[in-house]
Structures are given as structure tokens and as C-alpha cells.
């Protein structure tokens, strides 16, 4: 589609958009995919991208098949298969999920899309809910895949819809890059109708779709040529816009959400807002640079744009003025432009004369993971942890997790620790969803290589950390319909593990004894701590317990659980504070009662508490 035709279609489409909705960025992305005629969508939940598939699942299932996949690579492979079959497909993930899916993306760049193929990747500047702050734009260049970067929810819808056209026009996967701020912003978005292009039919060209070396050598030059053609498209598309300004001492080049900060912080300067950072819109940038005295690049995280612009021999400033880490802000932009001598430095803000209360994150009241990590601390094991709510066990007061690298790494890490000859028992902890995501291959490896480790599978029957999404072990699919359920214990036995136990973590004494036996076992042992999450899919609330103050000796045994329902009281025992339990938040799990040495914590219903 030519630039002129695209502009005309966009204008006509805008006139047809009679409906307005208060969408978040993620909801707008889902709407844009639906409007574009997406037929298959798959994802693994991960903040900040989770709501994209949850929203797509709300549309008519005859319009779009929306499903949770076991991990991001499976999600992308599913979308690739749908593209091979000639229909439009989408995969969604957070930035670290792209690491998991990268193998497929790299090969698909050579093969190219048949039906439109869009990969939505949501970065997390500021590390609000992730283990790192990587910049997906660098992946795009590595893979040779174009990226579109919407600035707000309205653009999130429009860019997603156009991404499918772009994918089919240039036979390429297209990455749509969001960020936490874009994903969770909410604004009025004008939406339009669904337009479903006819299926292109199965691709049927094995010289293209089978990436043996002979085919790959022939396909790689096409990727290089595609990059040049996409660069011209990036320069010509109306999605790249030039805002004229009155002060030509500098021109600002930016993309995505950073554009909004620029317009608020420096409205007088000309701005070139790029549709995306890769491929570089060389012609548009050259023309823009010729119209201003100096070029300043504003981008979140890595200097991807800045370095690319310098590589085409245009002097550009950027990270010498603005930080390379964290989210941008209007204040940071003003400080950077003041440093460049382009505006007055903002007046310093007087600090507030308050001391904020320390509020470290803790597991929920009654969380079934609490007892598991309390028991692990008691047996003195080296604990390799994983990604999930239970990662909070690394901090006070549980302090019973030694390592956490990424999704599914715990079991492999434990294998290495055991092979290195650790002087303590080695335990890997992993949640049920994470186990199915990427824990099964390393567990097979542990059996194959005869590792002396214990694997504690923390099965709370849901993907809790990202908001209670289903997975293959819950018996329900994305739309809530019944689905086959993985039997985790049977799976472990099927791969050759003989020592497998299923335990209720609320039975603290039995749990502790089971872990002692497991860590004494020679070879691989598996303990499955099975108890539903106390929040999802429904909030669990039983009869609360309370402290019989007369019997409390302020020993802190219950405080070591880190339960937010347990706090210090005003009473003292030998100079130490006694405890009290908030009946409104206590769910009656009885963990505190089981660890109390004086039996002074009792259910309220018994009438024993005074």
C-alpha cells in the first residue's frame, strides 16, 4: 500500500470512528488487532502485557481464537503457524518474554510473514515488575524486524491495525513496542469496525519456510533489501510526523511515549516523531536535521536512535543529557535541555519534610507459600528460586531464597549448585505456572544427570503474580471453559522421578518433615506444595484467629511468617512487644497458631481468646 493510499485510508477510517471508549493502552492494542481482522492470538501472561489477550478473549470466539500458551515461544510459534496458514495472527509478551521467543523470531525474520504477523512486546522502563530493563528496540535490529512505537492509546489502536498491513506488504513480522506507562494509561479512544481480509491460504513454499542452510543463505539478502525498503516506508508514512516549532536552535527526534514528554517539556522546539526506531527513517531524519541547528534525541532506555543517527553522519546528542535507565519524565527532559543550554534550569523542588513509612512487599495474609519457605529456612538448605509471588521470600522476614535469575532457571541453577559440591541440601523452588513454562526440561536434565536436588513445586493452582490467569494445570482456558488439566505428580513420575510427594503447606509439621526426608534422598526428589491462592480466582476467607494476650511471650515466631495481618501491639513482655492479629484481613489459615510455642493463638469462634 502506498503512503498516499495509507493516508487516505487513515482519514476515511477516522471519519468512520463513531464509537469512543475509555481504553487502556493494552485494551486499545487488542481493539486494533480485532479491527485488523486478527484470527489467532496467543500469549503467556506477564506484566505489563497481560491484558492484551484477556481483552481479545472478550471478543466473539468466532472472530478470534485467543489462548494462553505455556510460554512465549509457544505463543509466537502458534502465531507463526497461523500466519503460514494465511490468516492474521498476534503474539503478546513482556520484554523478557521475547528472550524466550527469540529463537523463533530470528528464523521468522528470514522466512517472512504470509498472513500478517504482529508481535506485541511491552517493555518495563523503571523495572516496575521485572527482573531487568532491557530495550526491545535492540532486539528488532538484531532480528531485522521493524518496530512501531505508539505514543498513546489512540495510536496503540491505529499502529496495531496498520502493523498487520505492513507485515503483509513487506512479508515481515512486525513488533509493536509498548511500555508499562502506555499499557496502563487510560484515555478516550475512537474505535472503528472490524475488517477481515480473506485468507491467503497455506503458504506452500518449502524453499522459504524450511530454514536449512541452503534456503537461509538465499533468504538473508532479502532481509537486507527489506530493511532498505522499510527505511523508506518509515520516512514516508504519515505515522512519522514533523511538528514545526518556533525555536530552531535544536530539533528533537523521538518516538513512542517519549513524544508526550517532549511536547509538554519543550513545546517551542521542532519535533520529528518517528513511527518506530528501526529501520531508521534516514530520509526523514536527514531532511529534519538540515532544518535545525542541532539534533537532540529523546528516548527511553538505550541510545538506539542516537547511535543510529550518528551512524549516518548526523551529529546527535542524547544520553549525555538524559538518563539511560528508568522512565523519562517532563522534569528530566527540562533538566537535560537546561544542561544543553536551551532553557532555564527548573527551580529546585523543596523536599517534603516527612519520613515515609517503610512498607516492604510481603506475601498475602494466608499465602500458602509462606509455610514452604519457613520450612526451607528451618532445614538450612541452599535455595534456588524462580519468578513468581514467592520471590518475595528472598527478603525479610522469610529470607529463605538465595538466587533468582529468570523464568525456569531455578532447577538448572540447583543442578549446577549440587554438581559444584554445595555443603548443604540444594532445593529449587518453582511455581506451577513457571514449572509448565520452562521447568520441565531442566527437571528432565536433573534426572538424566543424576543430580542430588530437591524440587519444591509451589502449586497454588493459578498464575497468581500476573493477576490470576489460568494455565494448563488449572483445568480452564483463557475464556474460562473447561480444559484438560496437567497432573504434575504424574508428569514428574513419567520422566523417571520415583520420590514424589504431594503436601498441603498449611500442615506445617508434616511439610517440614517431608522436606527433611526429601533432602535426605539421594537423587532427584519432588515435593508438590498444593494449596489454592488465597486471592485468585476467588478470595478465600475463613474464620479469623486472634491472640490471647495473656499467653503471648513476644517470641516473634509468628512475626517470622511475615503475615501482614500480624502486627505489634501496645503490650510488652520483658521489654518486647506482644502481637495482635487484624481480624478483618486474617483468613484463618492457622499458620501462626501452628508455630506459636505457647498456644495463645486461637480461632475467634472457639471463644478461647480474651
Task: Identify the CA nearest to 124 among candidates 160, 92, 93, 95.
Answer: 95
Q: How would you classify the pairing of strands 271-274 and 241-243?
A: antiparallel
Q: Which of 374, 606, 379 is nearest to 506 (CA)?
A: 374
Determine whether the annotation assigns residue 596 to a binding site.
Answer: yes
Evaluate whether 288 touches 253 at the Cβ level (below 8 Å): yes
What is the DSSP pairing of strand 382-385 with strand 426-431? parallel
- For 542-566, the DSSP string reads ---EEE-GGG-----TTGGGT-TTE
Which residue is listed with cell 501491639?
A: 569
Q: What letter does residue 435 receive in the DSSP assignment?
A: I
Cα angle 427, 429, 435 (rounded to 5 degrees) comes to: 130
212-215 contact pairs (CB < 8 A, 24+): none
533 annotated as ligand-binding: no
Taking alpha carbons only, the member of 257, 235, 239, 252 closest to residue 301 is: 257
Listed in sequence order, the DSSP H helices in 17-94 are 25-35, 51-56, 72-84
**How far is it, in rounded angstroms, from Cα 427 to Cα 415?**
9
CB-hemisphere CA count at 13 Å for 382?
18
User: Does residue 589 have a known ligand-binding role?
Assistant: yes
Q: Using an 8 Å Cβ cutoff, are 219 and 208 in contact?
A: yes
558 marked as binding residue: yes
Whole-Å CA distances, 137 to 140, 149, 158, 300 = 5, 10, 20, 10
Question: Angle formed by the axes of helices 213-236 and 282-290, to 10°?
Answer: 30
| 181 CB-near residues (< 8 Å, 6+ apart) | 125, 257, 327
User: Residue 47: which of 5, 92, 83 has the closest Cα?
Assistant: 92
DSSP 266-323: -TTS-EEEES-SSS--HHHHHHHHHTSS-EEEE-SSS-HHHHHHHHTT--EE-TTTS-
Among 190, 161, 184, which Cα is nearest to 50's?
A: 184
Q: Is 140 marked as binding a ligand?
A: no
Question: Cβ(68)–Cβ(53) under 8 Å?
Answer: yes
Residues 134 and 123 sit within 8 Å (Cβ to Cβ): yes
The residues, ordered by sequence, that sit 6+ positions from 302 with a Cβ below 8 Å of its Cβ are: 135, 137, 138, 324
Measure the CA–CA gap between 162 and 164, rounded to whole angstroms.
5
Preceding peptide of 484 cis, ω within 30°: no
586 annotated ligand binder? yes
Contact 312, 285 (CB under 8 A): yes
Angle of CA points 565, 569, 571, to nearest 5°: 155
Annotated binding site: 552, 555, 558, 563, 586, 589, 592, 596
Per the annotation, binding residues for [4Fe-4S] cluster are 552, 555, 558, 563, 586, 589, 592, 596
Amino acid at each position: 500500500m502506498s503512503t498516499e493510499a495509507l493516508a487516505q485510508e487513515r482519514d476515511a477510517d477516522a471519519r468512520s470512528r463513531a464509537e469512543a471508549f475509555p481504553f487502556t493502552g493494552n485494551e486499545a492494542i487488542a481493539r486494533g488487532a480485532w479491527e485488523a481482522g486478527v484470527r489467532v492470538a496467543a500469549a503467556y501472561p506477564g506484566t505489563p502485557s497481560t491484558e492484551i489477550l484477556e481483552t481479545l478473549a472478550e471478543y466473539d470466539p468466532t472472530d478470534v481464537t485467543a489462548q494462553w500458551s505455556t510460554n512465549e515461544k509457544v505463543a509466537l510459534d502458534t502465531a507463526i503457524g497461523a500466519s503460514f496458514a494465511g490468516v492474521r495472527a498476534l503474539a503478546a509478551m513482556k520484554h523478557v518474554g521475547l528472550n524466550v521467543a527469540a529463537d523463533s523470531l530470528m528464523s521468522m525474520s528470514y522466512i517472512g510473514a504470509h498472513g500478517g504477523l504482529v508481535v506485541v512486546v511491552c517493555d518495563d522502563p523503571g523495572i516496575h515488575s521485572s527482573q531487568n530493563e532491557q530495550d526491545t528496540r535492540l532486539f528488532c535490529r538484531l532480528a531485522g524486524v521493524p518496530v512501531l512505537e505508539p505514543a498513546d492509546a489512540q495510536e496503540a489502536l491505529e499502529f496495531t491495525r496498520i502493523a498487520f498491513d505492513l507485515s503483509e506488504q513487506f512479508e515481515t513480522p512486525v513488533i509493536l513496542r509498548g511500555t508499562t506507562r502506555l499499557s496502563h494509561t487510560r484515555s478516550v479512544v475512537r474505535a472503528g469496525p472490524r475488517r477481515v481480509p480473506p485468507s491467503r491460504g497455506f503458504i506452500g513454499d518449502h524453499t522459504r519456510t524450511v530454514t536449512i542452510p541452503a534456503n537461509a543463505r538465499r533468504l538473508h539478502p532479502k532481509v537486507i533489501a527489506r530493511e532498505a525498503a522499510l527505511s523508506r516506508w518509515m520516512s514516508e508514512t504519515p505515522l512519522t510526523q514533523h511538528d514545526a516549532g518556533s525555536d530552531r536552535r535544536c530539533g528533537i527526534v523521538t518516538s513512542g511515549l517519549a513524544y508526550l514528554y517532549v511536547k509538554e517539556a519543550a513545546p517551542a522546539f521542532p519535533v520529528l516523531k518517528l513511527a518506530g526506531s528501526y529501520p531508521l527513517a534516514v530520509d526523514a531524519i536527514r531532511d529534519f536535521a538540515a532544518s535545525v541547528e542541532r539534533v537532540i534525541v529523546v528516548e527511553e532506555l538505550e541510545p538506539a536512535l542516537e547511535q543510529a543517527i550518528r551512524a549516518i553522519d548526523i551529529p546527535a546528542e542524547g544520553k549525555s543529557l538524559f538518563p539511560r535507565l528508568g522512565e523519562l519524565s517532563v522534569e528530566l527532559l527540562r533538566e537535560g535541555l537546561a544542561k544543553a543550554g536551551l532553557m532555564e534550569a527548573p527551580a529546585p523542588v523543596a523536599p517534603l519534610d516527612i519520613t515515609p513509612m517503610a512498607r516492604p512487599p510481603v506475601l498475602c495474609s494466608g499465602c500458602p507459600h509462606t509455610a514452604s519457605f519457613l520450612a526451607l529456612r528451618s532445614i538450612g538448605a541452599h535455595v534456588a528460586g524462580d519468578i513468581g509471588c514467592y520471590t518475595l521470600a528472598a527478603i525479610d522476614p522469610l529470607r529463605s531464597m538465595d538466587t533468582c535469575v529468570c523464568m525456569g532457571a531455578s532447577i538448572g541453577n540447583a543442578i549446577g549448585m549440587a554438581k559444584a559440591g554445595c555443603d548443604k541440601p540444594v532445593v529449587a523452588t518453582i511455581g506451577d505456572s513457571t514449572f509448565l513454562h520452562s521447568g520441565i526440561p531442566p527437571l528432565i536434565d536433573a534426572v538424566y544427570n543424576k543430580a542430588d536436588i530437591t524440587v519444591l513445586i509451589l502449586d497454588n493452582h493459578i498464575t497468581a503474580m500476573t493477576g490470576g490467569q489460568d494455565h494448563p494445570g488449572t483445568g480452564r482456558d483463557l475464556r474460562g471453559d473447561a480444559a484438560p488439566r496437567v497432573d504434575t505428580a504424574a508428569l514428574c513420575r513419567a520422566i523417571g522421578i520415583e520420590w514424589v510427594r504431594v503436601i498441603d503447606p498449611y500442615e506445617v509439621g508434616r511439610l517440614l518433615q517431608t522436606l527433611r526426608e526429601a533432602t535426605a534422598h539421594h537423587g532427584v526428589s519432588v515435593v508438590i506444595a498444593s494449596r489454592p491462592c488465597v486471592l485468585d480466582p476467588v478470595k478465600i476467607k475463613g474464620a479469623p484467629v486472634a491472640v490471647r494476650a495473656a499467653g503471648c511471650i513476644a517470641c516473634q515466631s509468628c512475626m517470622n511468617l511475615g503475615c501482614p495481618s500480624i502486627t505489634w501491639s501496645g503490650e510488652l513482655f520483658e521489654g518486647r512487644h506482644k502481637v495482635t492479629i487484624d481480624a478483618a484481613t486474617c483468613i484463618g489459615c492457622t499458620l501462626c497458631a501452628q508455630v506459636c510455642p505457647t498456644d495463645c493463638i486461637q480461632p475467634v469462634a472457639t471463644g478461647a481468646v480474651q
